[in-house]
Structure 1
């Protein structure tokens, strides 16, 4: 008797070569491409496996056969709807681990722009001005400064390693305050204000969960050094945007490098666009050559595991949110 086919729905456009590799995993797998799904939305009701970047909680009412959702990103706030979290029969996995190096490089790109006034120098270049007197003021050396990593997962660990190579003192904060190699000290959540007060650069890598939403507010910003730089590559909603704008306007903190914002995308009339002590990048810190291919390797491994009945990797704790 032939085995029951596993209907795998691609809810995002994937290169043909990768689609072919997915099909080659097993003859049991019937791949429904994003184009096929658009032509026949009813496939959702029959799918057992879903590869996606976003999900509407309402569609899960139609997807009663669904047993496993793989997201092509690491953050799951656009996928982990209340409806999905409530489904005990549904496993969620992500692509955590592939972003550590590109995001860490992006973080230090922002930090070095502030430290060497490179953003101001770039403006002078386009204005044809050879003038450096004021650019020499307020320069920073990373060596000897304290890098505070808020959220010490794969991205945070790699950021700490690079910071140490610059000669920075590296501290971190995470829910489990167990020591991490290369970090001088790891703080627990109860010590957030102390952690912030020690840091010359605060790098926020936190996912957006009920516990982290609005975690950095007025009191937390007030605890930071007036000379501190805040970098956020996690999720915009982990920081109170109004409080951040006030802190930047009043120079309560020296500056912010933001790859993520709340709201996102940032409205054209938002004050963050116009603040001189802000660097904005439009949520692309994790992008890098071969991104889809690397994310697909995780999915291909997991697909083989799923078909064999073995444990999946990168399983998301749906209650914790990451």
Structure 2
């Protein structure tokens, strides 16, 4: 969101050329304060995004299967009210798992509901978005841009039009990586081993029935 609001992609390109382009970079820039971010999937990752968004005084809305009051979220919608969120959002962040119900959750119809000035950010799973519909939405300016860490096919094919789009940021499915990642994984494993031994509920247990 910061990269889009401050035009960092363009700034990096000017830096590579050693060009001081103040006027070019200050056009169409905007503040995150007061903007609305819709987080689709208010689980642990979605709530972390909500907390960070609130640090910039953004309005935070989102969806969850069982609506309830959540910290850092101004308005919580049931998952069935996805369209209501899309209509309001300046940024749409996808952080929900892929199931039979969420496959191609965002497609042609959903893009048509979004503001032409809005951006979509996918840190969930690639198959949440109909990639063909996304490309068409970007080319026709139905939305302003996209930040994608996950894709329907990975690695992203070299002939994908997404590679050459100025308003698209691409990263290789690494948004969860950090220098202390494996320390956290080991700590979680040890905690769950203790919980399993004493019969307590495991942290992060997967529901085979739900699919996540």
Q: Does 1:177 align with 2:67?
A: yes
**Partners in 1 of 2:202 and 2:21 — Cα distance?**
57
Q: Does 1:124 align with 2:124?
A: no
SS at match of 2:34: coil
Q: Does 1:189 align with 2:114?
A: no
The equivalent of 1:293 in structure 2 is 183
In the TM superposition, residue 309 of structure 1 has moved relative to its aligned partner by: 4.5
Q: Does 1:302 align with 2:192?
A: yes
The equivalent of 1:204 in structure 2 is 94
Q: Deviations over 1:19-48 (max 9, x none)?
A: xxxxxxxxxxxxxxxxxxxxxxxxxxxxxx
Q: Does 1:278 align with 2:168?
A: yes
Q: Does 1:241 align with 2:152?
A: no
SS at match of 1:257: strand
SS at match of 2:60: strand
Q: Does 1:161 align with 2:29?
A: no
The equivalent of 2:24 in structure 1 is 134
Mean Cα displacement is larger for which, 297-306 or 266-275?
297-306
**Partners in 2 of 1:273 and 1:283 — Cα distance?**
15
The equivalent of 1:214 in structure 2 is 104
The equivalent of 2:159 in structure 1 is 269
- 5+ unaligned residues in a row in structure 2: which ranges? none
- 5+ unaligned residues in a row in structure 1: which ranges? 1-110
The equivalent of 1:43 in structure 2 is none
Change over 3 Å in CA distance of 1:161–1:308 after alignment to 2? closer
**Partners in 1 of 2:203 and 2:58 — Cα distance?**
33
Which aligned runs of 4 or more in structure 1 are off by greater than 6 angstroms? none
The aligned length equals: 212
SS at match of 2:49: helix
* Higher-Rg member (1/2): 1
**Partners in 2 of 1:230 and 1:202 — Cα distance?**
5
Q: Supply the RMSD in Å over aligned alpha carbons.
A: 1.2
SS at match of 1:294: helix
**Partners in 2 of 1:222 and 1:140 — Cα distance?**
23
SS at match of 2:61: strand
Q: Does 1:145 align with 2:32?
A: no
**Partners in 1 of 2:200 and 2:33 — Cα distance?**
46
TM-score w.r.t. structure 2 length?
0.96
In the TM superposition, residue 187 of structure 1 has moved relative to its aligned partner by: 0.9
The equivalent of 1:314 in structure 2 is 204
In the TM superposition, residue 263 of structure 1 has moved relative to its aligned partner by: 1.1
SS at match of 2:26: coil
The equivalent of 1:114 in structure 2 is 4
TM-score w.r.t. structure 1 length?
0.64
Q: Which has the higher contact order (CA 8 A, sep 6+)?
A: 1
